[in-house]
Copies of this chain bind each other. A is one copy, B any other.
């Protein structure tokens, strides 16, 4: 192993280039190698002396190992994630590869560079639905049993947390989101606010404000971030006729007034 290698795990944010931090831009400018899922690698412009290593979805561990081997070989490597690399993204896969890899990987300089997470970008577009206590759950049962997901949904609803859901509905297993809705409907009132935020900050952005009673699973795909309000979350109509603002107040009232303020 040469001593000069370095690995950054960097968040590119949800899509808009103006949401990439200067810190991440500096790492990309210093890199010799960029490693990641191909649509994210494509967001990094080609330039001389930059090798781009694009791989397919679900190759997270192999991708992390490739990046670590490059860094151990003395290269300046950026692993790119969309959103924030620490939220259901590449940072955990890199440390998992280190734990199970050659011991000299533990001598590498590894830096995680935070990014604007999809969850916080979606929340900002809607108003401030995560303005009070909330949780962030991955609804994919690819790497954990559905029983754990169900238990977490149930307890989060009982705790009256707002919620953000990643990977709500895959093509391979489309039934998960319907099951999640059934669990929420067993605890929460039908008027509970639901926000479907698709492809936030990209040209395909679409944000829908609906309710637990009205939402149907087919409105959601893998590019959708789902936000669920708490019992306190409020929907504010606008004079402009635009989509309403949604926010969760800082104060907790145990006697909730009507949530829909028309």
Contact = CB atoms under 8 A, between A and B. Distances in A.
A129 B92 CA distance: 8
A148 interface: yes
A175 interface: no
A144 interface: yes
Copies per complex of this chain:
2
Interface residues of A, number: 81
Interface centre among A17, A127, A238 (most CB of B within 10 A): A127
A106 interface: yes
Q: Is the interface of A mostly helix, strand, loop or mixed?
A: mixed
A135 B156 contact: yes
Given A121-B114, A151-B159, A135 B132 contact: no
A23 to B, nearest CB: 4
12 contacts: A21-B116, A60-B250, A85-B128, A87-B120, A88-B132, A91-B124, A114-B124, A135-B156, A136-B136, A143-B251, A145-B254, A155-B158
